Structure 1
Amino acid sequence: MNPPIVSSSCPITLIGGVNPASATLSEVLSIASLVVAADGGADHALAAGVSLEAVIGDMDSISKAAQDAFKDVFHPITEQDSTDFDKALRHIDAPLVLGVGFSGARLDHELGSMTVLVRHPERRCILIGEDTIVLLCPPQITLDLPMESAVSLFPMAEVGCESDGLRWPTGGLRFAPDRQIGTLNKVDGTVTLRPDAPKMLLILPRSALGVTVQAMLQDDVRWPARAR
């Protein structure tokens, strides 16, 4: 287990290297006012006038202006075997992390971020894009979403997922990225999901952010850390 650099009993906003839209950042800050930057995310915080609890990363993407502004909260991690998102997430201890600035640019970076969610299942995190949100589905989650809303399940490895409230039930299915996936499902009632392993990504419309945050904070049952 990595010792935390930042610990909080409240949700934390984590800003990545892709410049988030101002409306997105404002919405997320209204939910989680404590902010950490992953490397170059510090430049976006500086431009938005946001104070930081910490800057975590290998510091190869941050400007001199941001280095000077946040030098008192710098936490360099120089190893090159993980992304800055990985470095930051594994050193934050909070009930929930809301990540902005990790999607909308390079696809390989987005895919890398999805992998980090699975690599650290004990760190509950929602990544927020302009159109969708994505999270590692916890052991159980119940969501009151508008009827017909899109619900996509994408397995990162073999995993089962019992469900209620979906138009196409998932019970009894074995999902895997090279076989069965669960994208483009629809809400048909109160949705409850119960994956049997920390391997299932849940992708929802951006409008579902508030409901999802509330559901995650109400039920803090979480996956254990992976054995290293």
Structure 2
Amino acid sequence: MQDPSPGAAADVPLAFDRPLAIVGGGAVDPALLRELAARHVALVGADGGADIIGDAGLVPEAIIGDLDSVRDRAGWEARTRVLHIPEQITTDFQKALYSTSAPITLALGMTGKRLDHTLAALSAVLQYAPMRRLMLIDEVDVALAATGPVRFSAAERERVSIHPLVPIRFRSSSGLFYPMDDLLLEPGGLLGTSNEGTGGMVEIVPADATPWLLILGRERLWDLMAV
């Protein structure tokens, strides 16, 4: 069994020098997959996510997981690399994370359909955000896992949500309708849902390197990749 801890992947099987998209079995827009492929983003299927890639008319560069969900393992093995990891300590998303490296990693199909899968994906983001740049994408939103200050431009009244994965205090903010100066956000307490930009640059500064989520509309995907 491969050690599933984040620090165990110093020599990962698959190292990418360009953006990587890990695709799970949840809700995925096939048009977005084709756009990612056209922009030379590497596509990797987390188990059954390979079939979602295939249904979009694409071939993943690899399939990673315990392979209990992929429809035709033998057929995929004839077309691409298949990395079978039978351990059951981690999810297929975590297996894909500890088996790869990339400058930035997008995660699609990790939310929707099953609530337990969505919660597990958020747990994996919290675990791996200190080690790599991660973004969750669904039909509506894109969520950047941040571990420090973030600066970006936002239109006036644009929705800007800040979600705490664990308790986190923010030192300051600018460019937001609801300031976050010395503000503690925490699950089960105060949240940063549906804040808004005032127009222009937004800066959000946490007090430390605790992971948190910056959530914008999905149309901001390519902008957030450059943040």
Q: Same fold (TM over 0.5)?
A: yes
2:57 is aligned to: 49
Alignment of 1:142-157 (within 5 A): 142-157=151-166
Could you say which residue in structure 2 is the equivalent of 1:193? 204
State the identity %.
33
User: 1:23 corresponds to which residue?
Assistant: 31
**CA separation of 1:57 and 1:151: change in aligned 2, threshold 3 A:** same
Query: TM-score with structure 2 length normalisation?
Result: 0.87
Counting only pairs closer than 5 Å after superposition, residues 1-228 of structure 1 correspond to structure 2 as 1=7, 2=9, 3-18=11-26, 20-64=28-72, 66-70=73-77, 72-121=80-129, 122-161=131-170, 162-188=172-198, 189-195=200-206, 196-215=208-227
Q: For the residues of structure 2 that align with 1:62 and 1:102, how far apart are their CA atoms?
A: 15
CA apart distance, 1:116: 0.7
For residues 28 and 34 of structure 1, the distance between their equivalents in structure 2, rounded to whole angstroms, comes to 8
CA apart distance, 1:19: 5.0
- The letter for the 2-side match of 1:69 is W
Query: Which residue of 2 is the match for residue 218 of structure 1?
Result: none
| 1:89-133 Cα shifts (integer Å, max 9, x gaps) | 222211101122122211221121111111112121111111111
Q: CA deviation at 1:194?
A: 2.4
| Contact preservation (8 Å) 1:59, 1:76 | yes
| Corresponding residue of 1:221 | none
Aligned mates of 2:167, 2:134 — CA distance in 1: 21
For the 8 Å contact 1:136–1:198, the answer to whether it is kept is no
The aligned length equals 214
CA distance in structure 1 between the aligned counterparts of 2:116 and 2:84, rounded to whole angstroms: 23
Q: TM-score, normalised by structure 1?
A: 0.87
Distance of 1:47 and 1:152 partners within structure 2: 32
Aligned 8 A contact 1:145 1:211 in 2: no
Structure 1 residue 14, shift from structure 2 partner? 1.4
1:210 maps to a residue whose letter is W
User: Partner letter of residue 90 of structure 1?
Assistant: Y
Name the SS for the 1:144 alignment partner.
strand
- What 5-or-longer segments of structure 1 have no aligned partner? 216-228
Alpha-carbon distance between aligned partners in 1 of 2:74 and 2:194, rounded to the nearest angstrom: 43
Q: What CA RMSD, in Å, does the superposition of the two structures yield over aligned residues?
A: 1.7
